[in-house]
Structure 1
Amino acid sequence: MAAALSVSLLLGGCGLFNTNAPEPDNTVGWSAEQLYRDAKSEMDSGNWSAAITQLDRIQARYPFGVYSQQAMLDTAYAQWRDGSPELAIATIDRFEQQYPNHEATDYMLYLKGLVNFTPDNAFLGQLVGQDPAERDPKGARASFDAFRELVDRFPDSKYAADARMRMNWLANTIAMNEVYTARYYYERDAYIAAINRAETVITDFQGTPAAEEALGIMIASYERLGMTQLRDDTRRVLQTNYPDSEYLTQGYTLRGKSWWNPMSWWPTANRSAE
């Protein structure tokens, strides 16, 4: 009997030190308005995780109505600011599927562009002086596509002007990524591959500053391959568009790395704060 009592007390005592017990939910019975007001307060204070918790409760308890829709909008933004871009993109995609004609679609496209515009390694790249164009262009392309869809579908949106500026920056960033790849191939005597990558800049990103070097790479590659007609045709294009280009007088030589980095401004897009 004594032994049984001791075991019972021991097991009961373990419960006293159970640190894994869930915290009590003090929001039981709260209205959607109360939950949203609390979530908004957490967002204003930068407590993104706490805000997401309240926004999730709104969507779970009140899945229909304007509060649920606004909660999803704010969740995507809070997830991005909380350092979870993949979750933010997933939330944006879910919102677009559920509400394809929502009045905030332009904002969600803008936010999708921003989330991809600021990849995880953006700050690291800035610290080490890395050219954004030298990183994986996947995020830049996704950002460009989102901004392009925004300005195409909603040209008068209040987000369109900023989206256009970012598209210009992204276009040259992606184009420079192609140029870096073309340089790589040219340096290794893979001239056909160098021409193909440089040609992508001319066809897809005409007018960007990167196009000048792309033409220089093409001229030099055609020269190495003995394709004189294509070399001369490309030289005429370079002459027409860049009459003062050094590639016309000095030919193409591999350059050092270009350490320009315009990531000095960090975007915000908190629609709920308006």
Structure 2
Amino acid sequence: MQVKHLLLIAILALTAACSSKDVVDENLSETELYQQAQTDLDNHSYTSAIANLKALESRYPFGRYAEQAQLELIYAYYKNVEPEASRSAAERFIRLHPQHPNVDYAYYLKGLASFDQDRGLLARFLPLDMTKRDPGAARDSYNEFAQLTSRYPTSRYAPDAKQRMIHLRNLLAAYEIHVAHYYLTRQAYVAAANRGRYVVENFQETPAVGDGLAVMTEAYQRLTLDELAATSLETLKLNYPEHPSLVDGQFVPLEEEADTRSWLAKATLGLIETDTPLPPGETRASQDVVRQYEDAEEQIPDELKSTTPDQASDADGKKKGRSWFSYMTFGLFD
């Protein structure tokens, strides 16, 4: 049998094993279902635990273990790497039991599910920079931990939630800086300056504030807004004198200015320059419009440039006004 056939059989067997559902004995009592679910959780058999907990909730919705089963179902989904199911189960528990003594645990698990949502298989085994990925789940996790700490400040889970919030806040600030540097490379200096200012204003006490000031300084310098650039630079020097953009007290842009030369100029190393450098505030498109206007103006005949029907003069050099008949006939009978 060829190797590819063995691989195909192995894949099919694995798929069948993953897709198989645990069958729950219909004769189990409420207590037996709960004990079986606890055994599954202790043995890390989370798929089986989920099946038993769901069966317990559906068969005995008003039993003594119903609310506890809903709580442990949130945990089982979380441990089974099903973040969306875990968050949904937590939201359902909070909606049904807002005054439950352990509702803070539901808030905490909901935040944990969002916290680990971006940490997939690749992120666990490869050195990926999480600050360069979409921060949607991180923002959700921060907001959910914030709800926990504000509503239940004395909860046993509040200290850990606060520490995770600090990490998430740093991550969100670093993401904004990555976006700002992308804008700098694309010569979108206004957008870069806005991102840098957003970090400075909304993420105080994070390591990214210095980077935000550096981005603002660089963007304002590119825009020739000297006063704003000087203010940002002075603030950077005062608060972050060891920032990488400061070399011997002088600001050094971290992003090189984009090369706007044509491909011919780049290929010939500047020996053949097809375009002159752009003045500040101008673009190639605006220069093309001006050039088209000048070309069209040069093609106007000289006699039309010197006199027009409205500016015709008589023999004495005085301008003659057009009659109403001339206006009505658009000058056809002048």
* TM-score, normalization by structure 2: 0.66
Map of 1:101 onto structure 2: 99
1:120 shift after superposition: 4.6
Query: 2-side partners of 1:23 and 1:159: how far apart?
Result: 33
- 2:254 alignment partner AA: T
Which of 64, 72, 75 does residue 74 from structure 1 map onto?
Answer: 72
For the pair shown, which has the larger CA radius of gyration, 1 or 2?
2
Q: Which has the higher helix share?
A: 1
1:46 shift after superposition: 0.7
For residues 14-51 of structure 1, the C-alpha deviation after alignment (integer angstroms, 9 at most, x for no partner) is xxxxxxxx9875342x3322211110100110111110
**Secondary structure of the structure 2 residue equivalent to 1:231:** helix
1:216 and 1:251 in contact (8 A); partners too: no
Map of 1:3 onto structure 2: none
- 1:251 alignment partner AA: V
Query: 1:125 and 1:25, CA in 2 relative to 1: closer, same or farther beyond 3 A?
Result: closer
1:139 shift after superposition: 0.7
For residues 30-80 of structure 1, the C-alpha deviation after alignment (integer angstroms, 9 at most, x for no partner) is 332221111010011011111011101111111125411111111111112
Which of 92, 114, 117 does residue 112 from structure 2 map onto?
Answer: 114
1:242 shift after superposition: 1.3
Query: 1:218 and 1:122, CA in 2 relative to 1: closer, same or farther beyond 3 A?
Result: farther
Unaligned runs of 5+ in 2: 1-20, 257-334
Query: 2-side partners of 1:23 and 1:253: how far apart?
Result: 57
For residues 167-199 of structure 1, the C-alpha deviation after alignment (integer angstroms, 9 at most, x for no partner) is 111111111111111110011100111112222
Computed over aligned residues only, the root mean square deviation of the Cα atoms, in angstroms, reads: 2.0
Aligned residue-pair number: 233
1:232 shift after superposition: 1.9
* TM-score, normalization by structure 1: 0.79
Q: Kindly report structure 1 stretches of 4+ aligned residues shifted beyond 3 Å.
A: 22-25, 120-123
**Are 1:252 and 2:258 an aligned pair?**
no
Higher relative contact order (CA 8 A, sep 6+): 1
Map of 2:25 onto structure 1: 26
Query: 1-side partners of 2:198 and 2:99: how far apart?
Result: 35
Q: How does 1:125-136 map to 2 (within 5 A)?
A: 125-136=123-134
**Secondary structure of the structure 2 residue equivalent to 1:246:** coil
Query: 2-side partners of 1:179 and 1:104: how far apart?
Result: 39
Unaligned runs of 5+ in 1: 1-21, 256-274
Which of 48, 54, 57 does residue 55 from structure 2 map onto?
Answer: 57
Query: 1-side partners of 2:23 and 2:55: how far apart?
Result: 14
Identity %, equivalent residues: 36
Query: 1:60 and 1:186, CA in 2 relative to 1: closer, same or farther beyond 3 A?
Result: same
| Segment drifting more, 210-219 vs 62-71 | 62-71
Query: 1:208 and 1:66, CA in 2 relative to 1: closer, same or farther beyond 3 A?
Result: farther
Q: How does 1:1-274 map to 2 (within 5 A)?
A: 25-28=24-27, 30-248=28-246, 249-254=250-255
2:46 and 2:76 in contact (8 A); partners too: yes
Map of 1:14 onto structure 2: none
| Segment drifting more, 45-54 vs 75-84 | 75-84
